Amino acid sequence: MPTVSPAPTVQPSLTSNLDKVLAALTRSGVNRKVNKSSELTRGEAAVVLAEVTYLQSEPAGEPFADTANYWGGGQINALKRRGVLKEASGLFHPYSLIRKDDLAVLLERVLVLPDTINFHDNAFRDLPLGSYAYNAVAKLTYFDVMAGQNKNFFRPADTVTAADLAQMLDRIQKYGYPMNPDQHMEKSTATSPPDPDKEPVLQPR
């Protein structure tokens, strides 16, 4: 398994990652039965990532237009200010189900993983070179955080369940990969617009 250089990381917790994910789903207020097969919304996934990286809720500086009254809006604000969440439309769509490729982009932005891999060595037929999540998926599959349906298909439009996200967090802890959502702070506060080829926004809904 590839290794990464030591860096600040999250502290271990006695609470399982699945319990953390299910707790977020329970607090979301969405009227549904919550279990490990529950599909995550974009807002729920963002809140989980904020919580596992110990980000506190923050008042909105320049909030998304549709998260001001969202239950996890404070954590979404914290991720947005750090450049982890980016939406060209100004809308985050927190109640929409998160896609597998969207989650790959978010995870790649909070993980501290080297870029010294062959980004062209990707056999997924449904994720062509130049796709907005291509680099994130290439990196996360290389480091065994995410996996495709098989060696040929990633299925980027698939939804993500509570068990899926918990398994990814388990792998991050297993391999000791550092997580640091502050690594993009300088980019997110720069006056020049981000390069869309290097800093992809999540796909519009």
Tens-place pLDDT, residues 6-45: 444 444 445 799 999 999 899 887 778 899 999 999 999 9
Please write the tens of the pLDDT for every residue from 112-144: 999 888 888 888 999 998 899 999 999 999 999
Identify whether 205 is part of a domain: no
Note the pTM of the prediction, 2 decimals: 0.82
Identify whether 5 is part of a domain: no
Domain extent, residue 88, equals 17-114+158-188
Identify whether 197 is part of a domain: no
Identify whether 123 is part of a domain: no
State the chain's mean pLDDT as an integer: 85
Identify whether 23 is part of a domain: yes
Identify whether 203 is part of a domain: no
Identify whether 143 is part of a domain: no
Identify whether 126 is part of a domain: no
CB-based contacts of 36: which residues, under 8 Å, 6+ apart? 18, 22, 161, 162, 163, 166
- Give the count of domains, the chain: 1
Q: Strands, DSSP E only, in 65-185?
A: none
b/e code 125-151 from CB counts within 10 Å (16+ = b): eebeeebbbbbbbbbbbbbebbebeee
